[in-house]
Amino acid sequence: MKAISLTKRQFNKLKRYELPNEVLSTESKLYVLNESYCISDGKLLLKYFYSDDKMPIKLFNINTLSNYADKINIPEFMIPKYLGIVDSNIVGFVDEEILNATNLGIILNDPKVDNEKKLDYLYRVGDIVKRGLSLKKFKDIKFNFGDLHEYNFVTDKDDNLHVCDLDSCYLDSNYPLNSYYLVCNFCINSLQNKYKKNKDNIVYPSDNSDLFCYNMMILNTIARDKVSLMKMEDYFDYINYLKYLGFGEDILKSFYNLYTNADNINPYCYLDQVPVDKIGEAGLKIYKLKRNKNMI
């Protein structure tokens, strides 16, 4: 990979690139490089990591993806083009800013956005997931998203989707990193053959774990709450409620499979089985209210 080098003095003069309040970054900060580094109409952003303990993993991930970008051929993947170096130390990665970007997590959590529009975004995410998990092994390495969640997608001014933070992907020869949807989920502990963990209690990413995360993206959007943190018994009760509301058999099977030994399903082609006119009733708070009043 090519590199952009700065002195400590040059770095200290950089301005922070502020993310929306809804988007939390626990491992890095973004900085705007000055115009002398710009190669396009947009800005170049330096993703500067707080700690270097995971840098070898992230460097391996991005360098490998960069080397095989032509073979990967997924235009939605934002693969950084440059290493970021400050005073001879690798501190992160540099890539172009997405102009007029909107984080998908903000869109999916916005009650003003039409539900059909949200389902369309989720369909497009599912298509990207399908293509990502269908990648043939390159250099005998299998690709998995690892940390797959809605806040790692952004839209641009033309409403195209982009996948960011691919430094947290998993290339099955290296150490796994924490996943947004798996790190606080205790139900998967009873399915350790399906969601295998290392000695540090981190799930090894796999097609099953990626599809778990994608299904949870869908469910959290429909429920307007964190279905991913529900106890298993409560989870299955909620899925049965979705059946009561008229959700289709195929997408329900995908939801059921998450906490069984069966392989997980990519349900993006089944999103038309979500009754749009019932999404309002599918809210988790409404479900709990009905259940408490013995209305279901």
Per-residue pLDDT of the chain (296 residues; tens, 9 = 90+): 899 999 999 999 999 998 888 887 778 999 999 766 655 556 899 999 988 788 999 999 999 999 999 889 999 999 998 999 999 999 999 999 998 899 999 999 999 999 999 999 999 999 999 999 999 777 678 999 999 999 999 999 999 999 999 999 999 867 899 999 999 999 999 999 999 999 999 999 999 999 999 999 999 999 999 999 999 999 999 999 999 999 999 999 999 999 999 999 999 999 999 999 999 999 999 999 999 999 98
Domains in the chain and their CATH numbers?
A: 2-96 (3.30.200), 102-292 (1.10.510)
Residue 251 phi, psi (nearest 5): -70, -30
Residue 189 phi, psi (nearest 5): -65, -25
Q: DSSP of 114-155, one letter per residue?
A: -HHHHHHHHHHHHHHHHHHHTPPPBTTB-EE-SS--GGGEEE
Tell me if 16 sits within 8 A of 46, measured CB to CB: no
Per DSSP, 18 falls in state P
Tell me if 151 sits within 8 A of 104, measured CB to CB: yes
Global pTM reads 0.94
Q: In what order do the strands lie in the sheet with 44-49?
A: 2-6, 82-86, 89-96, 44-49, 28-32, 15-16
H/E element, 291: helix 284-292
